Amino acid sequence: MDMWAVVPAKELIRAKERLGMVLSPERRRALMMAMLEDVLTALAATPDLGGLAVVTVDIEAHRLATRYGARIIEIGARDGHTGAVTAAAKLLASEGRPGMLTVPGDIPLVTPAEIAQLLAAHRAAPAFTIAPSRDEQGSNAIICSPPDAVPLRFGENSFFPHLRAAEACGIEPTV
C-alpha cells in the first residue's frame, strides 16, 4: 500500500505552551520529543504504510524523524497544524500518492495495532476516515484518499467540521 503517514511537528521551543505555568521550556521540549518519538515508533512499526513524512523546520525533530526513515517536509511547517498537513497533502497528491494518514505528534499511547485498525476501516477512494478525540470534539487521526480529498481544519472542536467537510465533498466519512 502506498498510504503515507504525515506528522506535523512544530518548533519544539513552542511546544506545549499551555503547560508553561508548570513546566519549563526545556521540560516542555523534552515532553514533546518523547511524545513525538512514541508516535514515530508506532507509525514505523505499522506494516501497511508506504512512507512516513514529518512536517517540520525544527532541527531536533528533523534529526529524530530521520532516525525513523521519515521524509522531511518543510513546506507549511510554520503555518500551524492545519497549514502543515494541508501542504503535505497537496505535495503527496501532486506526486500521485493514493492516500494520507495524519496524526498529531503528541497523541499519547498510540499503537501500531490502532493505526492498522484505522487503515483497515478506510474505504476505497475517494474516502475519508476519522478517529475522534475521546471527547468527540477533536480529530486524533484522519485518513484521506486521495490525500487532498477533503479540506482539513485542525484545532479545538474539529471533529464535526471535518465530518461536514467530507460530506460537502460527496464523501461519506468513516468514524
CATH of 3-12+22-168, one of 3.50.50.60, 3.40.50.300, 3.90.550.10, 3.20.20.140: 3.90.550.10
The amino acid at 10: K
The string of pLDDT tens digits covering residues 39-49 is: 999 999 999 89
Please tell me the predicted confidence (pLDDT) of residue 25: 72
Q: Residue ranges per domain, the chain?
A: 3-12+22-168
- Residues β-bridged to residue 38: none
Helix axes 59-67, 25-44, angle to 10 degrees: 30
Please tell me the predicted confidence (pLDDT) of residue 121: 97
Torsion of CA 33, 38, 41, 43, to 10 degrees: -110
In order of 5, 39, 52, 100, the CA distances from 49 in angstroms are 7, 14, 8, 9
Helix axes 25-44, 112-121, angle to 10 degrees: 60
Please tell me the predicted confidence (pLDDT) of residue 168: 98
Please tell me the predicted confidence (pLDDT) of residue 24: 78
Please tell me the predicted confidence (pLDDT) of residue 33: 93
In order of 11, 64, 135, 136, 171, the CA distances from 156 in angstroms are 20, 27, 11, 10, 23
CB 97 within 8 A of CB 108: no
Q: Which residues of the chain fall short of a pLDDT of 70?
A: 1, 13-23
Please tell me the predicted confidence (pLDDT) of residue 1: 62
Please tell me the predicted confidence (pLDDT) of residue 152: 97
The string of pLDDT tens digits covering residues 85-109 is: 999 999 999 999 999 999 999 998 9
Please tell me the predicted confidence (pLDDT) of residue 15: 61
The amino acid at 35: M
Question: End-to-end distance of the chain based on CA atoms, in angstroms?
Answer: 21
